[in-house]
């Protein structure tokens, strides 16, 4: 459509099996006279129905989909019900037993803030495991539990590791009071299991520019 093979830059990577409702992609070098409305329509014709492009807009040349992002928000969904729901099977983790949501939220309180999250994920040698987790909380609507996590950035598998650890607390196999020691250990083996990828969704990426409208249906 552009007449060239474009470079694309994503706001963030997701593990195989993870969903995205608010991924942002940047395409540098698009001609000034490009028909963005036509490009938007053509992309959806080509990519649908499994991928939907919500909008196509022009941004400043110095803007970067990844490095200009101020924060990213993920939601991990758990269906707490005796029987699975086929309609939600691909986008939520089925948990047949009742989880202790207050205990899980108490554990969240120990994780919010700036910490070394080595115990909760993987990080490349050149990068720091230090992250500032601005928001982490569980909400419940009927049988559906949602863990909302917001930070400037995350290390590999961090949200899934947080979810797995918090679910273990909800099952009574761990205590909220254990979390500070897990953080301090910086040992991946001290935390809970990595939750399956299909329950996780990148719901929004936020920018300071003012042009971006985070697409977050779970707020």
* Secondary structure (DSSP) of 139-159: EEETTEEEEEEEES---BTHH
8 Å CB contact between 92 and 167 = no
Question: Percent of the chain, pLDDT > 70?
Answer: 94
Q: What is the pLDDT at residue 211?
A: 47
Residue 124 pLDDT > 80: no
pLDDT tens, residue by residue, 16-71: 899 998 899 999 888 888 899 999 999 999 999 989 999 999 988 888 999 899 99
Gap between the Cα atoms of 218 and 112, Å rounded: 20
Beta strands in the chain (DSSP E): 9-10, 19-20, 25-26, 69-80, 93-95, 113-116, 130-141, 144-151, 200-207
Q: What is the pLDDT at residue 122?
A: 85
Question: Tokens standing for 142?
Answer: 């009927």
| Of 167, 184, 186, 187, nearest in space to 176 by CA | 167
* Global confidence as pTM: 0.90
Pick the more confident residue, 25 or 126: 25
What are the backbone angles phi and psi of residue 153, rounded to the nearest 5°? -165, 165
pLDDT tens, residue by residue, 90-118: 999 999 999 999 999 999 999 999 999 99
69-203 has which CATH code?
3.30.70.660
Domain ranges of the chain: 69-203
pLDDT category, 158, cuts 50, 70, 90? very high
**Residues recognised as catalytic:** 15
Average pLDDT, the chain: 91
């Amino acid at each position: 459509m552009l007449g060239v093979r474009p470079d694309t830059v994503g706001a963030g990577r997701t593990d195989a099996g993870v969903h995205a409702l608010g991924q942002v992609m940047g395409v540098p070098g698009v001609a000034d006279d490009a028909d963005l409305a036509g490009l938007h329509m053509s992309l959806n014709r080509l990519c649908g129905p499994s991928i939907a492009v919500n909008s196509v807009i022009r941004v400043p040349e110095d803007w970067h989909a990844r490095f200009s992002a101020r924060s990213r928000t993920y939601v991990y969904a758990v269906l707490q019900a005796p029987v699975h729901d086929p309609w939600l099977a691909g986008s939520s983790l089925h948990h047949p037993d009742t989880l202790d949501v207050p205990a899980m939220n108490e554990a969240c309180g120990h994780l919010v803030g700036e910490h070394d999250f080595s115990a909760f994920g993987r990080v490349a040698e050149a990068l720091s495991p230090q992250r500032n987790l601005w928001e982490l909380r569980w909400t419940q609507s009927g049988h559906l539990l949602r863990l909302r996590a917001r930070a400037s950035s995350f290390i590999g598998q961090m949200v899934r590791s947080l979810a797995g650890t918090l679910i273990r607390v909800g099952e009574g196999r761990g205590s909220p009071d254990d979390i500070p020691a897990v953080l301090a250990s910086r040992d991946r083996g001290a935390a809970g299991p990595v939750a399956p990828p299909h329950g996780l969704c990148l719901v929004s990426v936020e920018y300071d520019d003012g042009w971006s409208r985070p697409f977050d249906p779970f707020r």
